[in-house]
Amino acid sequence: MRSDTPARLGLLAAAVGIALPALGAAPDDEAELLALYGDKASISIATGSRQPLRRAPAVASVITAEDISAMGATDLDEVLEAVPGVHVLRSAVFYTPLYVIRGVFTGTTTNPQVLLLQNGVPMTTMYSGDKGITWRSLPLENIARIEVIRGPGSALYGADAYAGVINIVTKTAAESRGTQAGARVGSFDTHDAWVMHGGHLGPMELAAYLRVGHSGGHRRTIDADAQTRLDGLFGTHASLAPGPVSLAADAVDASIDLSHQRWRLRAGYKLRDHAGVGAGVSSALDPTSEGVSQRVTADLSWADPSVTADWSAGATLSYLGHFESSRLLLFPAGAAFPTGVFPEGVKGGPDRWDRVVRFNAFGAYAGIAGHKLRIGAGRDLLQLYRVETHKNYLVSPAGVPVPTGPVIEYSAIQPHILPHTRHNDYVYLQDEWRLAPDWTLTSGWRHDHYSDFGATANPRVALVWDASLDVTAKLLYGKAFRAPAFSEYYGVNPVANGNSTLKPETISTLELALSWQASAELQLNVNAFRHRLRDVITLVQNPAPAPGSTYQNAGRMRGHGAEVELAWDAHRRLRLSGNLAWQRSINDSTGQDAGYTPRLHGHARADWRLGAGWLLGAQLNHVAGRRRAAGDTRPPVPDYTTTDLHLRHERHDWSFSAGIGNAFDADAREPSLAPGSIPHDLPLAPRSFTVQAIYRF
C-alpha cells in the first residue's frame, strides 16, 4: 500500500465528518436518498427475465442511472472499476480497455473472456472476438442501468459469457421523458455536447440520443519502448521515447428507440475517428498514426407476456455492422532489422469489415406448479466479409519485416487474414423450480453448434435459499466457453498463425454467496468462488526449424477468491458503500501467478446531500498485489490508490456538476505485457477536472 493511502482515507473520513453537521441541519427527507439510488432491486440478465436481485441465481451487481450521476462518472470504464471483482486493464494498442472479472486474463491485447451486451445483444466483433480494439469509450448519458454478472453465463448467452457478462441497458422514452441538452468540458482538451428526447411519435413511444465529442487524451510519458530495445541491439537511435502516449479521438454516438405495444425497434451508431494508437501497436511510440471505427447496430424485438394463460413468448432479430481501419507506424523512421533499415519506418494498416446477424426466439411456460420453464433457440450468421492489408514490408519466414519500398495493398500477396463466414445454431432450456417456499433451484443447459469448430454444451445449476426474511444464500455451479476468434482460427500472419483445429476455451466455476439485510439501512453481500480454465488459447512457438508461433489450446489456469460489498445508509442524507475483492490466479503450466491482475482491489465511496439540491461525493480506488507473468523478470507492478471528488447541484430545470479525477495525482500504471517491451508499464491519467451542465426543457 502506498505511504499516502492512510492520509487519503483520513481525508475521506474528515469530509464525512464535515458533512454530518450539515446533514443534521437538513430537513428529514428520506425520499431524496431513495431517489438518489433508484431501483437496484431487480436484474434481467440472470435468467432472461426481470427478477429480484437478491434472489437471482447469480452473483450480480446493478448500477443505475442515479448511481452513475451520483458518482460523477462520464465513461463506462469508470463505472466498471467500481464493481466488485472487476478491474479495467489497458492494452498498449489504442489503450483499449480490458474488462477483467475475477482475475481471468490470459495476457493478450484483447478482451474475449467477457461478453459485452447492449440491451441483451452481443457487441462482439469477429476478428478479435471481443468489443474491438478501437472501442475506445462509451458515454453514460443514455444509459438507464448496467447489469454485471460475475461468473459463467454460457448456459443462457452462449459464447464468451465466460468470466462474466456486462449488459448495458439504454434509456426508454419513459426514462428520458422530455428533452434535455448537456455539455461538458474538462482536462486534456475534452469537450462533449449531447441532446436527448423521450416522448411520443404518433402512437409510438420514442427515445432519441445524439452526442458529439473530442478529447486530446492525457499525455503521460513513456520513457522507454520496444524501439529502445531494438536501438540497443542494432546501434540505432530511432526510438521516439521518452514521449507521450497518443490518446486523442473524436466521437459520435447516436441512438433511437421506438416501441409500440409488443414491438420495439432500436438502432445505434458509434464512431471513433482520428483515434490515437495509445502506446503503439508494436509497443513502439507512434504519435502521428490514427485509427477509425464505425459500429452500426439495430434490433427488432417482439414480446408477449400473455400469449395464453400459461405461455409467454418473444423473438429478436439483430444486426451489428463493424468497420475498423488504421494506418500505423509500427516502428519509427530509422528502425533497423537483420533484413535491412526502414528509412521511413515500418508502416502497416489493416482494414476489416464484419457483420453479425442474429435471430432468436423463446417461449416461457408457467403451467406446472412450482416451475417456470423457458426454452429458446437461435441462429447466428458471423461474417468477416472484407479485409485489406496496407504495408511497406513483407514478413520473412523467420517472422522479421523485410523492406519493400512504398506502402501498397498486400491482400493478394501476404494478407493478415482472409474473409470467412461462421454459423452457429443453438438451443437452450431453463427451469426455475420452487422446491419449497424458501428454496428455488434454477437449472439450465445450452447446446451450440458452430459450422467450423463443432459443438459445445454448457450447463448451470443454482440453489437459492431464503434462510430468513433478511438472509439469502446461494450455491452456484456453471460451465462456460469462449469461441476461438477469427484471428486465432483463420489468421495467416506468419508471426501468429491461426489454427483450424482449435477447440473453444472452457471454464468451470463454483460459487457460494450470502446476502444479509442487517437492517433497513445496512446491506452486506459476501461471496467466494473457485474456477478452473481448460484449453486456454495461447500462442506457442513452433517447433524448430519452423519460425513463428501458432495458436494452440495449450493453457490451463485455476483461480479462487472472495468478494465483500457493503452499503450503509448512515444518515438519512448520507450513504457509505464499498467493496473489497481478493483473488489468486495460477497458470498451471508454470505453477506461478498468472500475472497482470490485482490480487487485492478495494473501492470505497461516500455520497451525501448537503441540502438545497447539493450532492457531494468522494471515492477511493485501491489496486494492489499485481504480479508479473512467468518469464517477466521485472519487479511487481507498483500498487496505486486514486481519489475522485464530485459535486453536483440541482436547481429547477438545471443540473450543474464538477469533478476532480485522481485528485492527488497518483502515479497509477497498468502492466504492459511480458516480457516488458514497455518496461515501466502504461501510465494512467494524472489529475483531471470536469465541469458539466444539463438543461431539461
Three-state secondary structure readout of 378-427: EEEEEEEEEEEEEEEEEECCCCCEEEEEEEEECCCCCCCCCCEEEEEEEE
Does the structure show a pLDDT above 80 at 341? Answer: yes
With cut-offs at 50, 70 and 90, classify the pLDDT of residue 495: confident
Name the strand (E) or helix (H) holding 69: helix 65-71
pLDDT digits (tens, 9 = 90+) for 401-418: 999 999 999 888 889 999
The three cell numbers locating residue 198: 423521450
| Coil/strand/helix, residue 440 | strand
pLDDT exceeds 70 at position 3: no
Q: What is the pLDDT of residue 512?
A: 98
> Could you tell me if residue 192 is left (phi over 0), alpha (psi between -120 and 50 degrees) or otherwise beta?
beta
Question: Alpha-carbon distance 175 to 613, whole Å?
Answer: 21
The grid cell for 187 is 482536462
Cβ atoms 170, 141 nearer than 8 A: no
Domains plus CATH for the chain? Answer: 5-26+36-148+179-696 (2.40.170.20)
Q: Does position 27 have pLDDT exceeding 70, yes or no?
A: no
What is the SS3 assignment for 185-196? EECCCEEEEEEE
pLDDT beyond 50 at 366: yes
Least confident of 31-40, 80-89, 248-257, 263-272: 31-40
CA–CA gap between residue 123 and residue 697 (Å, rounded)? 33
Bridge partner list, 579: 565, 603
Give the C-alpha separation, 437 to 420, whole Å: 51
Confidence of residue 137 (pLDDT cuts 50, 70, 90): confident
Q: Where are the alpha helices (DSSP H) in 441-506?
A: 486-490
How many other C-beta atoms lie within 10 A of the C-beta of residue 435? 12
Ramachandran angles phi, psi of 71, nearest 5°: -85, -10
Q: Residue 10: in which H helix or E strand, if any?
A: helix 5-25
- Residue 535 neighbours by CB distance under 10 Å: 19
Mean pLDDT for the chain?
92
Burial-class residue 529 by CB neighbours within 10 Å (0-12, 13-18, 19+). Answer: buried
pLDDT tens sequence across 627-660:
999 999 999 999 999 999 999 999 889 999 999 9
Q: Is the dihedral of CA 99, 101, 107, 111 positive or negative?
A: negative
Query: Does residue 31 register a pLDDT over 50?
Result: no
Residues 461, 477 contacting (CB under 8 angstroms):
yes
**Kind plus residue range of the DSSP H or E element containing 259:** strand 249-260
What is the mean predicted confidence (pLDDT) over 597-621? 95
pLDDT computed for residue 37 by the predictor? 40
- Contact (CB, 8 A) for 398 and 125: no
Q: What is the pLDDT of residue 154?
A: 96
Give the CA distances from residue 474 to residues 55, 441, 515, 611, 621, in Å, rounded to whole numbers and listed in that order. Answer: 8, 10, 9, 40, 28
Rounded to a whole number of angstroms, the distance between the first and last alpha carbons of the chain is: 48
Band the pLDDT of 19: cuts 50, 70, 90. Answer: very low
Separation CA 144–CA 210 (nearest Å): 15
DSSP string, 315-376: EEEEEEEEEEEEEEEEE-TTEEETTEEETT-EEEEEEEEEEEEEEEEEEEE--STTEEEEEE
- Residues 430-439 have a mean pLDDT of 95
Higher-pLDDT residue of 304 and 25 is 304
- The Cα 268–Cα 369 span in angstroms is 41
Distances (CA, A) of 383 to 103, 122, 127, 319, 653: 31, 14, 9, 11, 47
pLDDT of residue 40: 58
Q: How confident is the model at residue 86 (pLDDT cuts 50, 70, 90)?
A: very high
Q: Is the Cα torsion angle 545, 547, 552, 555 positive or negative in sign?
A: positive
Q: What is the pLDDT of residue 48?
A: 83
Which one, of 46, 72, 207, 53, lies nearest residue 618 by Cα?
A: 72
pLDDT at 7: 42
Comparing 48 with 636, the larger pLDDT belongs to 636
User: Using CA atoms, how far apart are residues 315 and 260, in angstroms rounded to an integer?
Assistant: 15
At 412 the pLDDT is 86
Say if CB 115 and CB 124 are below 8 A apart: yes
| Residue pointed to by grid coordinates 443447459 | 445
Look at residue 22 and tell me whether its pLDDT is greater than 70: no
Model confidence at 375, in pLDDT bands (50, 70, 90)?
very high
Between strands 614-624 and 114-118, the pairing is: unpaired
Q: Which residue has the cell 464484419?
A: 354
Residues 138-163: pLDDT tens digits? 999 999 999 999 999 999 999 999 99
**CA–CA dist 43, 146 (Å, integer):** 9
| pLDDT higher than 50, residue 8 | no
For residue 2, what pLDDT is reported? 45
Q: Report the Cα 357 to chain-centroid distance in Å.
A: 22
Contact in structure between 105 and 89 (CB atoms under 8 Å): yes
pLDDT score, position 50: 84
The predicted structure's pLDDT at residue 18: 33
pLDDT tens digits, one per residue of 205-245 = 999 999 999 999 999 999 999 999 999 999 999 999 999 99
Buried b (16+ CB within 10 A) or exposed e, 370-397: eebbbebbbebebbbeebebbbbbebee
Residue 29 pLDDT > 70, yes or no? no
What is the spatial distance between Cα 320 and Cα 327, in angstroms, rounded to a whole number?
24
Q: Is the pLDDT of residue 28 over 70?
A: no
Q: How confident is the model at residue 543 (pLDDT cuts 50, 70, 90)?
A: confident
Q: Tell me the C-alpha distance between 493 and 498, whole Å.
A: 8
Q: How far apart are alpha carbons 654 and 181 in whole angstroms?
A: 10
Which of 458, 346, 435, 350 shows the shortest CA–CA distance to 392? Answer: 346
- What mean pLDDT is predicted for residues 195-202? 96
Nearest by Cα to 112 from 493, 505, 457: 505
Task: Give me Rg for the CA atoms of the chain.
Answer: 25
